Structure 1
């Protein structure tokens, strides 16, 4: 090869773009936020807020309707009505939450007006959110969150106990509903949601699929039903890097699938239910922070931090001070970890305990 050709080849190589560096993300996935009262600095709040700092994404599901102009009368009895002032969003922001799902059976607690007022409050507070919208297309569309590490997408849906008028339609605001009957998910709903995951995957570096389920396993509500396991795997196979579930307020298992993660139920971040003490099992007052790391679209680490929530509040309105999370240790951590390890074992997922954290064995 002549010297001129060698120089030309060298010059061409100099302009070959470097290989794109795989994206690295840190995600804190949390339980549902059934928060009906703004929370300030209660004991344990500062330590929790400190532990949640430093992630690219802090994700939860807002399990309350935000009051505002145009809200309608309650669609359920007062004991199970989940309504909050916009100030609760400040509490979530103080915990570094920056991505919210809003698809649940409670999104319609104040009717269509409540869905609209919640969306308005989320926009005003600048939260990326998905799962409800002005119509079915908007409710099912992915939300996108830009962070220094890259772009994250969220597709959010709900199954079960959605009241008449609460599901989004072509000309009606509501929830992005995934229907199922007899253990078979509705084909039209599934195709629409999977297409949204396709869109999310094309437009982002990391995709989270969220599902709020109230069609529980009849034998044991804390166990994911078979149809839900199959649906979670379809979402992952279609492009979700992380599938997160809530619904029955109790921790469920962790499954790994082709380098991606399925968290079947993370229980509650806040659980400010107005039901009487003892209504829910003790496990309803336990939760975790799922601290996940992804490298190049594959999970590289998962650490679980135990949380306990107080079943009984105090003060003038004990409901305003119940269901508040704090980091657990000792025997409380042991109880939570034993439950999660047992629930995950059927999926072949194994952990090791290091102090008061539980780490995934890859």
Structure 2
């Protein structure tokens, strides 16, 4: 590390669901770009595939089949980003051809990127950014994905499978003894577990741990405190922690990116139990920050062992309704046919903007944190509110602008207080001091 400067600065955003080119380098863009470029390390999460339809649409998608021209990567660089993750629920929207092309265009644009690879070892490996003030590693994973999207292990006798770095998890539902007996009676009456029981009998399926009662694909357990809890998959957790162990010996700083839609209670802004367990384990292993995104809203900030965990930074760019094409699967889902176009499809799916994210104001405001470290010590975090244009037409909303927003910061402060974090608010800007 350069002795002339013992501090290093970071800025991170949430999801960049970018499907349009920057219209101009206007003053609002310049103001935001200048702020981002003040940091040494500048991270965003790319939530689209970027290619010229080299891949065909997958049978399953992350919701919208997310595609954009590779030229949008130039716009992300114009903002100042020099590091990104792209392990998320849209990575394989255009199958392996889309993955391969996106990988190619990211490399052509010389952007450090992590979380996706041609086998599991590559998808999970740390990627490194060289700065004058320290070498920085990024490791990226996602807990929100279809099973086929997970990268496969390489073997001596066969190649691995391209895909994302997965963080799987299990959910346990807890019921009282009385209710568990009622559930068991319902299962017997409806023969919910017939296939499972026959599979176990024939040796095709593994028997569920005796502490749990299966109900279709759900697991139930007896307990006094009813509800649900989740925990990370031990194999995935071990693999990711092993990569952190490697990276902390190869770099001065280690960042973890995790894309996670899953919720802990009944609200998008509450992280799942497994995400909290995972994030703290990453810090325990040596990570310097955990950067969360995925639910398209902000979540609280935890300072754990003097390291930040951003459970979700919301959206940075959100242009999910201006993709150029959609496959027939999407049209069929909303009751349309080949005589219709993308505008028809989005009008129908959102009921002309009255349902979905287009009508949800919390998806259109978010936070951009800027923090500094001196050696291993976190010095200060400044929180800049962003506005993405709620209420504008779909072709105009989705670009971020800096806005002083005390109500947003108060909401973030309330969410963060659950983790013991205090956010000071002054003149529309938030600060966490140490």
Give the TM-score normalised by structure 2.
0.74
Please say if 1:136 is aligned against 2:116: no
Q: Kindly state the Cα deviation for residue 76 of structure 1 after the two structures are TM-superposed.
A: 4.1
For 2:239, which of 169, 184, 192 is the aligned residue? 192
Query: Residues of 2 paired with 1:346 and 1:141: CA distance?
Result: 33
Please say if 1:91 is aligned against 2:75: yes
Q: Deviations over 1:142-171 (max 9, x none)?
A: 0100011110000100002x2242110021
Give the equivalent residue in structure 1 for 2:184: none
* Equivalent residues of 1:40, 1:91 under 8 A apart: no
Give the equivalent residue in structure 1 for 2:207: none
Query: Residues of 2 paired with 1:22 and 1:197: CA distance?
Result: 25
Give the equivalent residue in structure 1 for 2:297: 250
Please say if 1:168 is aligned against 2:171: no
Q: Deviations over 1:181-233 (max 9, x none)?
A: 11121111111111011111111011101100123234112101122111100
- Cα RMSD for the two superposed structures: 1.9
- Identify which range, 351-360 or 198-207, moves more after superposition: 351-360
Give the equivalent residue in structure 2 for 1:157: 141
For 1:72, which of 56, 67, 87 is the aligned residue? 56
Please say if 1:326 is aligned against 2:401: yes
Give the equivalent residue in structure 1 for 2:11: 28
Q: Kindly state the Cα deviation for residue 40 of structure 1 after the two structures are TM-superposed.
A: 3.1
Give the equivalent residue in structure 2 for 1:289: 368
For 1:342, which of 411, 414, 433 is the aligned residue? 414
Structure 1 residues 108 and 284 mapped into 2: Cα distance closer, same or farther (>3 Å)?
A: same
- Identify which range, 125-134 or 45-54, moves more after superposition: 45-54
For 1:213, which of 248, 257, 260 is the aligned residue? 260
- Identify which range, 100-109 or 219-228, moves more after superposition: 219-228
Q: Is the partner of 2:255 in helix, strand or coil? A: strand
Query: Residues of 1 paired with 2:53 and 2:121: CA distance?
Result: 24
Q: Kindly state the Cα deviation for residue 313 of structure 1 after the two structures are TM-superposed.
A: 4.5
Structure 1 residues 54 and 77 mapped into 2: Cα distance closer, same or farther (>3 Å)?
A: closer
Give the equivalent residue in structure 1 for 2:44: 60
Query: Residues of 2 paired with 1:96 and 1:198: CA distance?
Result: 29
Please say if 1:37 is aligned against 2:17: no
Query: Residues of 1 paired with 2:132 and 2:6: CA distance?
Result: 10
Query: Residues of 2 paired with 1:23 and 1:207: CA distance?
Result: 17
For 1:266, which of 281, 297, 313 is the aligned residue? 313
Please say if 1:308 is aligned against 2:297: no
Q: Deviations over 1:107-144 (max 9, x none)?
A: 01001111111111110000001000011000000010
* Equivalent residues of 2:57, 2:65 under 8 A apart: no
Q: Is the partner of 1:165 in helix, strand or coil? A: helix
Query: Residues of 1 paired with 2:62 and 2:124: CA distance?
Result: 29
For 1:177, which of 144, 154, 166 is the aligned residue? 166
Please say if 1:229 is aligned against 2:306: no
- Identify which range, 298-307 or 75-84, moves more after superposition: 75-84
Structure 1 residues 78 and 234 mapped into 2: Cα distance closer, same or farther (>3 Å)?
A: closer
- Identify which range, 45-54 or 92-101, moves more after superposition: 45-54
Give the equivalent residue in structure 2 for 1:14: none
For 1:112, which of 93, 96, 100 is the aligned residue? 96
Structure 1 residues 357 and 246 mapped into 2: Cα distance closer, same or farther (>3 Å)?
A: same
| Count of aligned residue pairs for this structure pair | 336
- Identify which range, 292-301 or 121-130, moves more after superposition: 292-301
Q: Kindly state the Cα deviation for residue 322 of structure 1 after the two structures are TM-superposed.
A: 2.1
